[in-house]
Structure 1
Amino acid sequence: MNEMNGPALHARFLRGLSAAPDRPAFYLGARSATYREVHERALLWAGALRRAAGGTPAPVGVLAGKGETAYTGILAGLYAGAVVVPLHPMFPAARTRQMLKAAGVGALITDERGGAALPELLGADHGLPVLAPAEAPGAAGAGTVAARPEDALDRPCPAGTDDTAYVLFTSGSTGRPKGVPITHGSTHHYFRLLDARYDFSSRDVFSQTFDLNFDCAMFDLFCAWGAGASVVAVPPSAYRDLPAFCAERGLTVWFATPSAIGLTRRMGGLAPGSLPSLRWSFFAGEALRCRDAEDWQRAAAGSVVENLYGPTELTVTVTAHRWDPDASRKLGVNGVVPIGTLHDGHEELLIGADGEPAETEGELCVAGPQLTPGYLDPEDGAGRFLDRDGRRWYRTGDRVRRVGGGELAYLGRLDAQVQVQGWRVELGEIDHALAGCPGVESAVTVSAAREDGVELVVFYTGRPATPAELARSLRELLPHGMIPRRYQHLDELPLNANRKVDRPVLAARAAELVGAAAPTRGGAAG
């Protein structure tokens, strides 16, 4: 298979197919599917997509939760030569419609949950081609695409370095999600670096904790598939006894947000030596505290622990720090594990408060082959990119400090963006949604640090409402992970000397409400 060495993201799967054709590509509870089975099914679905489109399909949305349809659907879209757009079936219909329109989605692959959402999402006579496997009966109707054996592709369609592999959406301060296209060339560079850094093999079993619209899920799938390894979907119930789950499934590679450490600790799952099967443990999406890294390392004594960092715009992760009990604590700032050094082929630039390059501390800007070519809507790129020294830099909005040996330490955000259990949240988007809630005049969302992560707190003026009423209104516009838990009514919002809302005062009040220390400037790293 010459395609195995090309830049196409799905070449990763072809490598796994060649190395371990009869090994499970993924496990879903007691069910599994081998590389050979998934490959054949993906070729079948890809053929159906191309037949429905009369050639290369427009972007293909995968409206499905972690499962057989989603995993095979992502691969089928890539095999068909299409751009893949992972979509969460439990997101509000209004938000998903925005994503479909922004990405120009021309066909959908759905599971049962995604199929059940289609009537509200698209209407009964939408006409959009929908590939709905047997597990998605709710999707039957207008536009249904049948997967016929005679249409199956002989081989996956090729993809070029500059072609877009997938589009993911991040929170946007304007009240709508921002589409981030990632090219096959970016993923090719990324996974080649990971292949050189790690010793993954067909004997490995990867956790899959992330929803598929979260870019870290790409790490799970394509690191595993590139090695002929297996992926295990981790249900929320697994945290009740994570050591037993890991032992039963034979997990060797773990990847999750740092919040998973606190949850496992509360469930009594972090006893020394309780996770002996793990060889590698990765954390990203939030700030990783030294205390949490130490506790996890004791539980997974045979595992190498790494803290990874990277915004979606830089292809999953772009730095890595390998935990060392002595060195990491010395290099870390405020008890937070360093985010590490940049991937090979990338350059860093720190910008100080005066907008000029800084030597030791400032906003992290990154240039290199993992950088997105830009947002789907060019207007979303305003202020996010910097052209300097003949290069295009992405302004991460994260404040960092150089701490020696090329290592970077995370200090906080420079804007109103935070990470909540791995969700990248623009607080302005929540404020925008709150403005549409009945009776709300003005609203400001702030974050407060807790021991196990970050909590969102809303202060609002207007007609008092119960938290349940406000949350119910927000659920029509925002996904579950962006819904604040606390709401505080005020007669008026506090103002600073410039007559602007005094966010530090509200942040201090929020910290009191959640029983936490006042947060430092910015949110959590991701």
Structure 2
Amino acid sequence: MDEMTDGAAYGLHGRFLRGLALAGDGEALRADGRSVGYRELHRTALAWAGALLEAGGGRPGVIGVLGNKTVGAYTATLAALYTGSAVVPLHPGFPEARTRQALRAAGVTALVAAADAAPLLPGLLGPDSTLPVLVPEVPGAGTVELRPDQALDAPRAVEPGDTAYILFTSGSTGRPKGVPVSHSSCAFYFQQVEKRYDFTPDDVFSQTFDLTFDCAMFDLFTAWGSGGTLVAVEPGALFALPDFLAAQRVTVWFSTPSAIRLVRRTGGLTPGALPTLRWSLFAGEALKAEDAADWQRAAPAATVENLYGPTELTITITAHRWDPATSPGACVHGAVPIGRVHDGHDWLLAGEDGTPAAPDAAEGELWVSGPQSTTGYLHRADDAGRFPRHAGRIWYRTGDWVRRAPDGELTYLGRIDHQVQVQGIRVELAEIDHAVRGCAGVEDAVTVATRDGDALELVVFYTGEARPPAQFARQLRQTLPPGTLPKHYEHLPALPLNANRKTDRTGLTARAEALVGRRPAAR
């Protein structure tokens, strides 16, 4: 292959060029009720990229993409990469103030808006904005003109250390933290993916994640890197998932574990209900053993895996392959192991005081150093304590407490800030969640901690059958240590999810604060 077809000089977007070489006449994308082929998507991205470079004086910059899970948003993402610029996905459903913060923090030099996001531009940018804006699907809506003579002949090459994309995560100060991810980190990551999976041009990949969630990059660039087809999955599809997967012929599924519970509630997890799947991957929150087992029965031809990785470590950094015979026995508090850290990285466990533990420590906060790690946040003030230097290298402190099994696999126990002290006893909230899920009639549960004066109170939110708090207290006394019993229980029809479709712990904590103090505790 020459440089163009192998994509080596083109970083992350080189994976699309590989797919173009493998399946040029194939289907690259299904969204908005449309099907777009590889050649058409490539030509359109080159045209949009040329217009963006013309507006920017021919120099790469930082390009925001305002859109989500539409043909326009996917094309804009590829076009921005084709310019050699860093891409900043921006969700049209997020508050304007947050999006404006991201635009400023990333130093966005141009913006591409999908058709459905165009009406948001006046309120987002204001009347005095000089930011170049391309709205290619809505003539006259932007300030950048799209002309045929501007189209690039080929994508712009990049350097390995150049930033491929910037994503924003929650910040403790209320200001989102920008995470720049380099082309070299992406290249190393997708090398690990190719070693682990046997994706081909015949595969059809789900795309459940919003583009502001880093797992969406897995969907796009594993599908396109293998010459496969990417299928946008709207939330409503989960209510009739067997029919959707069959109609779309999906072979590779990737979502948060919360999707499993929703599909179960709608009757879609009956044995053999998902026969088209070859691979089923889950990430973003703890995968429960019962959920993995139920999904495996519904998708008997699929290999099920639990993936783990914060944004700062380029999508996912560990993987555990579910084995119905051995995995249940390796679970801790009902959570499936997250597996081993990718080859080529160093990792260690640190104690509660934030210092590296002994090499044989069984539990601790996971620190990782290696090629998938970002070197720091966009604003170095956000780095505080997250990127310590130890043993001559920089590490990323994940903030996740894990347990090491004798075979070297890791199990996720929870966030450090989900470990609380109740009457002098350290409590893993994940352990309480697991215990509550074992109570009759309970489908799912999340425990949060809040204060009632000087006392720390545990509040359980649960789904399934509503039960009197006293019944919970009686049953949980049989499994939880004295002093760790929650005193407050709140029944919900479903656990709320945040924008990334993870359980909204922040919202539940706020709700707990309102509940505690005005409701009698369980006895």
Q: TM-score range by the shorter chain?
A: 0.7 to 0.9
2:410 corresponds to: 408
2:82 aligned with 1:79, yes or no?
yes
Listed one character per residue, the Cα deviations across residues 273-330 of structure 1 (whole Å, up to 9, x for unaligned) are: 0100000000000100000000000000000000000000000000000001122112
Secondary structure, in 3 states, of the residue corresponding to 1:399?
Answer: strand
2:130 aligned with 1:171, yes or no?
no
Following superposition, the deviation at residue 410 of structure 1 comes to 1.0
> Contact 2:345–2:368 (CA<8 Å) still a contact in 1?
yes
1:221 corresponds to: 220
* Cα separation, partners in 2 of 1:244 and 1:327, compared to 1, 3 Å: same
Secondary structure, in 3 states, of the residue corresponding to 2:119?
Answer: helix
> Contact 1:413–1:524 (CA<8 Å) still a contact in 2?
no
Following superposition, the deviation at residue 456 of structure 1 comes to 8.9
Equivalent AA in structure 1 for residue 453 of structure 2:
P
CA distance in 1 between counterparts of 2:32 and 2:238 reads 15
Equivalent AA in structure 1 for residue 273 of structure 2:
S
Following superposition, the deviation at residue 125 of structure 1 comes to 3.3
> Contact 2:339–2:410 (CA<8 Å) still a contact in 1?
yes
1:495 corresponds to: 454
Equivalent AA in structure 2 for residue 151 of structure 1:
Q
CA distance in 1 between counterparts of 2:311 and 2:246 reads 32
The within-5 A match list for 1:169-208 is 169-208=168-207
CA distance in 2 between counterparts of 1:75 and 1:457 reads 40
Equivalent AA in structure 2 for residue 404 of structure 1:
P
CA distance in 2 between counterparts of 1:169 and 1:456 reads 26
Listed one character per residue, the Cα deviations across residues 170-218 of structure 1 (whole Å, up to 9, x for unaligned) are: 0011011000000000000000110111000000000000000000000
Equivalent AA in structure 2 for residue 27 of structure 1:
R
* Cα separation, partners in 2 of 1:109 and 1:456, compared to 1, 3 Å: farther
Following superposition, the deviation at residue 376 of structure 1 comes to 0.3
> Contact 2:400–2:415 (CA<8 Å) still a contact in 1?
yes
Equivalent AA in structure 1 for residue 233 of structure 2:
V
> Contact 2:48–2:136 (CA<8 Å) still a contact in 1?
no
Secondary structure, in 3 states, of the residue corresponding to 1:156?
Answer: coil
The TM-score with structure 1 as length reference comes to: 0.81
Listed one character per residue, the Cα deviations across residues 54-105 of structure 1 (whole Å, up to 9, x for unaligned) are: 0223210000021111111111111001000001001000000000000001
2:395 corresponds to: 393
1:37 aligned to which of 36, 40, 50: 40
Following superposition, the deviation at residue 107 of structure 1 comes to 0.8
CA distance in 2 between counterparts of 1:238 and 1:506 reads 29
C-alpha root-mean-square deviation of aligned residues, in Å? Answer: 2.5
CA distance in 2 between counterparts of 1:249 and 1:261 reads 19
Listed one character per residue, the Cα deviations across residues 351-406 of structure 1 (whole Å, up to 9, x for unaligned) are: 12242414211000011100002100001110111211112111101111111322
The TM-score with structure 2 as length reference comes to: 0.82
* Cα separation, partners in 2 of 1:123 and 1:416, compared to 1, 3 Å: farther
CA distance in 2 between counterparts of 1:509 and 1:5 reads 55
2:482 corresponds to: none
CA distance in 2 between counterparts of 1:510 and 1:58 reads 53
2:516 aligned with 1:513, yes or no?
no
2:474 corresponds to: none
Following superposition, the deviation at residue 505 of structure 1 comes to 7.2
CA distance in 1 between counterparts of 2:263 and 2:460 reads 31
CA distance in 1 between counterparts of 2:20 and 2:119 reads 33
CA distance in 2 between counterparts of 1:161 and 1:319 reads 23
Identity in percent:
56
Secondary structure, in 3 states, of the residue corresponding to 2:326?
Answer: helix
Listed one character per residue, the Cα deviations across residues 233-275 of structure 1 (whole Å, up to 9, x for unaligned) are: 0111211210010000000000000000000001100010010
Secondary structure, in 3 states, of the residue corresponding to 1:25?
Answer: strand
> Contact 1:287–1:524 (CA<8 Å) still a contact in 2?
no
Secondary structure, in 3 states, of the residue corresponding to 1:43?
Answer: helix
CA distance in 2 between counterparts of 1:370 and 1:387 reads 16
How many residue pairs get aligned? The number is 451
CA distance in 2 between counterparts of 1:513 and 1:15 reads 51
> Contact 1:454–1:524 (CA<8 Å) still a contact in 2?
no
> Contact 1:25–1:225 (CA<8 Å) still a contact in 2?
yes
* Cα separation, partners in 2 of 1:324 and 1:458, compared to 1, 3 Å: closer
Secondary structure, in 3 states, of the residue corresponding to 1:404?
Answer: coil
* Cα separation, partners in 2 of 1:505 and 1:86, compared to 1, 3 Å: closer
> Contact 2:209–2:216 (CA<8 Å) still a contact in 1?
yes
Secondary structure, in 3 states, of the residue corresponding to 1:219?
Answer: helix
> Contact 1:259–1:453 (CA<8 Å) still a contact in 2?
no
1:104 aligned to which of 104, 107, 111: 107
CA distance in 2 between counterparts of 1:248 and 1:237 reads 15
Equivalent AA in structure 2 for residue 328 of structure 1:
S
Listed one character per residue, the Cα deviations across residues 133-163 of structure 1 (whole Å, up to 9, x for unaligned) are: 22x46x815xx11221111111110111110
* Cα separation, partners in 2 of 1:416 and 1:409, compared to 1, 3 Å: closer
CA distance in 2 between counterparts of 1:237 and 1:38 reads 26
Higher RCO structure, 1 or 2 (CA under 8 Å, sep 6+): 1
Secondary structure, in 3 states, of the residue corresponding to 2:395?
Answer: strand
> Contact 2:459–2:490 (CA<8 Å) still a contact in 1?
no
Following superposition, the deviation at residue 515 of structure 1 comes to 7.0
CA distance in 2 between counterparts of 1:320 and 1:257 reads 14
CA distance in 2 between counterparts of 1:219 and 1:320 reads 14
CA distance in 2 between counterparts of 1:399 and 1:458 reads 17
Equivalent AA in structure 2 for residue 62 of structure 1:
V
Following superposition, the deviation at residue 127 of structure 1 comes to 2.1
Following superposition, the deviation at residue 29 of structure 1 comes to 4.9
2:25 corresponds to: 22
Equivalent AA in structure 2 for residue 105 of structure 1:
V
* Cα separation, partners in 2 of 1:400 and 1:26, compared to 1, 3 Å: same
1:312 corresponds to: 311
